[in-house]
Amino acid sequence: MNETMNNAILLQEIKDLFEDISYQAACEYEGCGADDGWPSVKPLI
């Protein structure tokens, strides 16, 4: 890992977890965050 990447905040390992699961599982449906407020979020692990 290069020196600059040591300062990365959004850990690549976690980004890879999101890449590995399907796009729709990663995004899920947020719904109307304003009024229902129950997004459907699948665990990454």
Partner 1 sequence: MSDINYHIFKNMETCILFLTEEKQAFTISEEEYNSIYAKRDNYRIVEKYVKSVEKYKSNKSHTGKDYIYELYLCVANCCNANCSYCFAGQGSYGKEKGIMSDETAYKAVDRFMEIVPFDCTAVITYFGGEPLMAYSVIENCCNYVTKKYNNRKYEFHITTNATLLNREIIDFFAENKFKIAVSIDGGSVIQNAQRPLLNGNDSFVEATKFLPYMHEKKLRLLARGTYTNFDVSLVQCYDELLKLGFEEVNIEPDILDKKREYDMDKLLAQLDVLRDYIVDYAKTRNDFPFGLFKMQMRRLFIPLKKELKGCGAGKVTFAVDIKGDIFPCHRHSSMPETVMGNVREHQQAMSFLDIDYQEANCALCWNRYTCSHGCMYEDKSISGSYYVKNPCFCKYSRKMTEIAISLCNEMDKNRLIKVLSGI
Q: Mask of contacts with partner 1, 10-39, x by CB under 8 A?
A: xxxxxx-xxx---xx-xxxxxxxxxxxxxx
Spatial neighbors of 17 by CB under 8 A, at least 6 apart, are 44, 45
Per-residue tokens: 43:
């665990």
The residue type at 20: D
Q: Say how far apart CA 27 and CA 41 lie, in whole Å.
A: 8
Q: Give least dist CB 17 to partner 1, A.
A: 7
Q: Give least dist CB 20 to partner 1, A.
A: 10
What is the contact surface with partner 1 in residues (CB under 8 A)? 2, 4-5, 7-15, 17-19, 23-24, 26-45
